Amino acid sequence: MGKSQSKMSPKELSDIASVTNFNESEIHDWYKGFMKDCPKGKMSKDQFVKMYQEFFPHGDASHFAVNIFRTFDDNKDGSIDFREFICALSVTSQGSVDDKLGWAFQIYDLDGNGSISMNEMREIIKTIYNTRPPKERLTPMGIQDRTEQTFKKLDTNNDGKISRSEFIRGAKTDSSLVQILT
């Protein structure tokens, strides 16, 4: 079993190259690293959160990491396999602006219903600020203000929810929103 997972088949390699922005050599390199860190071929939510937390040593990234994990776990089986990992990595690192903003939309759409509510926006903004060192975090009132300002800019049809198209369109027209949202 370990031997069969130590190398990708040419078909798998070609398939992943066709759906990502990575070439076969890059995919192979990523695969070797993934398998080194995840010898069973899957990354658990706990492993992902631990890895993600290392990027934010002065803040608490655990809640934000859980939301990122949710977007990587495409088949919703509670783990990330290499294909899910490399496809999400391709979007986040080499995707178009629309692709990246579409992915960011998924982070904010906590319940997966295709729109972002004020509560979902507030929850993600709060988790983003919690990744920062304590001195750089917003107060609860600051989070509420930031949420309301951002929501108002994005909810262009004033229906109390932000659609994917509103999110992408709004973020592309306001560079300060791109920083907040991504």
* For the chain, domain boundaries: 10-94, 97-181
- Report the chain's mean pLDDT, rounded to a whole number: 90
pTM: predicted TM-score of the whole model, two decimal places: 0.85
Whether 10-94 shares its CATH topology with 97-181 is answered yes
Q: Which CATH architecture has domain 97-181?
A: Orthogonal Bundle (1.10)
Q: What is the mean pLDDT of residues 24-28?
A: 94
Mean pLDDT over residues 143-166, rounded? Answer: 95
Q: Which pLDDT does position 27 carry in this prediction?
A: 96
Q: How many CB atoms lie within 10 A of CB 147?
A: 21
In this prediction, residues 133-154 reach a mean pLDDT of 93
Burial of 144 (0-12, 13-18, 19+ CB in 10 A): middle
**pLDDT of 23 strictly over 80:** yes
56-89 per-position pLDDT tens digit: 888 899 999 999 999 999 999 999 999 999 999 9
Buried b (16+ CB within 10 A) or exposed e, 63-93: ebbebbbbbbbeeeeebbbbbbbbbbbbbbe
pLDDT score for 181: 56
pLDDT, average across residues 35-57: 93
Residue 58's Cβ-side half-sphere holds a number of Cα atoms within 13 Å equal to: 7
The confidence score (pLDDT) of residue 174 equals 76
The answer to whether residues 8 and 20 touch, using CB atoms and an 8 Å cutoff, is no
Q: Which fold has domain 10-94?
A: Recoverin; domain 1 (1.10.238)
